[in-house]
Every structure is written in C-alpha cells, then in structure tokens.
Structure 1
C-alpha cells in the first residue's frame, strides 16, 4: 500500500488542460450540430447528401465527452505546498 502520510495532494480540476480543450471543442461541436439541424436541404445536396455540419458536430461532441471522461477517470494530481510563499 502507498504511504498515506506523505505530501498532501489535490486534483488539478478546472485547470486541467483536457477540460479546457473539451470545453472548446464541445462549444464548436454544439454550434456545428445546431447548424446541421437547421441546414438547408439544398446545401446538404451539394455535399452529396451528407450533412457534414451535423455529423462533424456530433463527432466533436463525442470527442469532448471522451476528454472529460478521461480527465475524470485519470485526474492530474498535484502536490500541495505546505509552506506557501508570502
């Protein structure tokens, strides 16, 4: 077993870069998904019948969800400074 009396540690939380990336990709994915839902059928026909905005947005939302899941399952643990600088 690991020694529990060693240096105290805490999670990085919102400062984890994976959460920031997930928020950015997720917001872009949400915008693309909405644009794909309200897309003009003529624009979809130009792309060979494939609603690229909708599928790209869904893929970005899934990617963002995977990043958040990764950050939750394997959080970054940083040691706590016992003697903070003044």
Structure 2
C-alpha cells in the first residue's frame, strides 16, 4: 500500500500549498531574502549595530527558518481525508433552523 492511500484503500490527498507551514515558510523566506539583499547592497550602518551587519544576518536566519518550515511540511505532510463522518451530536442541543422561502 502506498503512502497516498488510507487504511480503507481510498486515495488521500495532502494539504499542499494550504498547509500553514508552507505559508509561514514562504513569508519568512520572502522577508529573509529582502533583508539579506538589504544587508548586501544597502548601507550596513555598522556603528548603530555594534559592527554587525544586522540585516544580512537576520535575513540569513529567516531563510534558514523558512527552509526548516518547508522541510517539515515536506517530511511530515498533513493528509486530508476524502470524507468526514458527521459527529454524533447531542440530541438535546437545538439544531440550527433555516427559513425556507414560501412555496408557490
């Protein structure tokens, strides 16, 4: 049985791009690239940061964190079931009512 099938034999799909780890990784990666480029091509203002190029090092750290999130999502993907059984509701809880338009 392949990793793309569930125990019942139905095909399961992964969250893919909608996995929150991919979204966080993309945001961190974009910010990391912007900061790294600002650190390389911008004025480092070393006297304000204690002789450290803060933009460059922060950008590189964000790129590493983004790679971690992408790797985590790739190695342990979230599997979305094809169908979900309805939970057993409490019969004492009122169900939502929906007004129907009058019949003609």
Q: Same fold (TM over 0.5)?
A: yes
Match in the other structure for 1:81: 83
Match in the other structure for 1:18: 21
Moved more, 3-12 or 67-76: 3-12
Alignment of 1:1-86 (within 5 A): 4-41=7-44, 43-81=45-83
Runs (5+) with no aligned partner, structure 1: none
TM-score (norm 2): 0.69
Higher relative contact order structure (alpha carbons within 8 Å, sequence separation ≥ 6): 1
In the TM superposition, what whole-angstrom CA distance separates every residue of 1:36-76 from its partner, at most 9, and x where no partner exists?
A: 001325x1232111000000000000000000000000000
Structure possessing the higher radius of gyration over alpha carbons: 2
TM-score (norm 1): 0.82
Please list every run of at least 4 consecutive aligned residues from structure 1 whose deviation after the TM superposition is greater than 6 angstroms: none
Separation in structure 2 between the aligned mates of residue 25 and residue 4 of structure 1, nearest angstrom: 36
- RMSD over equivalenced CA pairs, Å: 2.1
